[in-house]
Structure 1
Amino acid sequence: MASEHDRAVLQAIFNPTTPFGDIPGLNQEEELIDYDSGFNTELLKQVKELEMRGVSAAEAGDLQTALQLFSQAIQILPQRASAYNNRAQALRLKGNTAGALEDLNQAISLSGSTGRAACQALVQRGLLCRLAGQDDEARADFEKAAALGSEFARQQAVLLNPYAALCNKMLSKVINKLRNPEVSDMQ
């Protein structure tokens, strides 16, 4: 059986764009969940139904209806992060980046930076920061989301880390030389 270090070395060889020692899924033993047990079950059921209808409306292109449904869900359970995440996505699609960021910040705060809602909000906020050219803020959000288990966020964090990119490029060259010694001697 391979040790954790052995798996890290193999990960670096076969996936040189990930940071050394970063083994996707290694520390994630259970699926991210949101802690909804503290909410009234009838209200929670009502809110989840509103959110599902809102997602369907957004997917159908009816962003105004989606926003109304997500806002209704927030009015019913204002301490639940999920509807803020969904409304942020609809706001972003409508071009309201400031409103989307407000909702994402609220979702992160309400979630205590744990669970699926926090992970999704951090990824969304990271993307908005990246689009705005705020790479340091984007990288910080992606790193937090990666720590919560988001493989997409992990990849984005690596792409935004200039040191990791340089190390990975050098490691790729070494690995290519090891794989094809006769080709690398000619270059």
Structure 2
Amino acid sequence: MASAHDRAVLQAIFNPTTPFGDIPGLNQEEELIDDDSGFDTELLKQVKELEMQGVSAAEAGDLQAALQLFSQAIQILPQRASAYNNRAQALRLQGNTAGALEDLDQAISLSGDTGRTACQALVQRGLLRRLACQDDGARADFEKAAALGSEFARQQAVVLNPYAALCNKMLSEVINKLRNPEVSGMQ
């Protein structure tokens, strides 16, 4: 069985864009959950049902129905982040990036940068910022989501970090030269 050090070296060889020593899945924390304890139980049940219906409508391609259902959920519990996050996804699918960003900002604000919804909203906002060539904002969002446990966000943060990419590329070249000295001219 390989040690953690061995896995880190193999990770650096086969995935040179990741920071040395990072092993995907090794640092994964427990699954994040949102703290819904401050909400009325009956209203929370109603809102979760509306959100599930909204997700189903979006998956079926009915974005208008999805948006209406998410908006109803927001009207019932406007201080709960999840429906804003879900509505942002539907708005993004509809091509309304500005509306999606507004809802993502609200979801992140309401979640207090903790929990599953915050993590998802940060990743979504990071992707939208990256598409808009706002790499600094995207990197900040991905770093926050990575700190919450998102493996995808961690990978995106590394990709957007030019120093890490350069260091890993140099490390990869050194390892390749050590593995194939005849190819690199070392004898």
**In 1, Cα distance between equivalents of 2:27 and 2:51:** 31
Contact 1:67 1:87 in 2 (8 A): yes
TM superposition shift of 1:2: 8.4
**In 2, Cα distance between equivalents of 1:4 and 1:111:** 34
TM superposition shift of 1:3: 8.0
**In 2, Cα distance between equivalents of 1:94 and 1:29:** 33
TM superposition shift of 1:10: 5.0
Q: Could you report, residue by residue, the CA deviation over 1:50-91 in whole angstroms, capped at 9, with x for unpaired residues?
A: 111101111111100000000011111111111100000111
The more displaced of 13-22 and 46-55 is 13-22
Alignment size in residue pairs: 187
Contact 1:25 1:149 in 2 (8 A): no
**In 1, Cα distance between equivalents of 2:75 and 2:48:** 13
Q: Could you report, residue by residue, the CA deviation over 1:97-121 in whole angstroms, capped at 9, with x for unpaired residues?
A: 1111110001101111011100100
TM superposition shift of 1:24: 3.3
Q: Could you report, residue by residue, the CA deviation over 1:143-170 in whole angstroms, capped at 9, with x for unpaired residues?
A: 1111111111111111111111111111
TM superposition shift of 1:178: 2.1
Q: Which runs of 5+ in 2 are unaligned?
A: none
Contact 1:67 1:90 in 2 (8 A): yes
Contact 2:28 2:151 in 1 (8 A): no
Relative to the length of structure 1, the TM-score reads 0.90
Alignment of 1:33-112 (within 5 A): 33-112=33-112
**In 1, Cα distance between equivalents of 2:12 and 2:186:** 25
Partner SS state of residue 128, structure 2: helix
TM superposition shift of 1:135: 0.6
TM superposition shift of 1:9: 4.6
**In 2, Cα distance between equivalents of 1:2 and 1:147:** 26
**In 1, Cα distance between equivalents of 2:35 and 2:5:** 34
Contact 1:91 1:97 in 2 (8 A): yes
Q: Which has the higher contact order (CA 8 A, sep 6+)?
A: 2
Contact 2:29 2:149 in 1 (8 A): no
Relative to the length of structure 2, the TM-score reads 0.90
Partner SS state of residue 185, structure 2: helix
**In 2, Cα distance between equivalents of 1:25 and 1:44:** 32
TM superposition shift of 1:14: 4.3
**In 2, Cα distance between equivalents of 1:86 and 1:143:** 21
Q: CA RMSD in A?
A: 2.2
Partner SS state of residue 31, structure 1: coil
**In 2, Cα distance between equivalents of 1:127 and 1:120:** 11
TM superposition shift of 1:179: 2.2
Q: Which runs of 5+ in 1 are unaligned?
A: none
Partner SS state of residue 103, structure 1: helix
**In 1, Cα distance between equivalents of 2:89 and 2:24:** 26
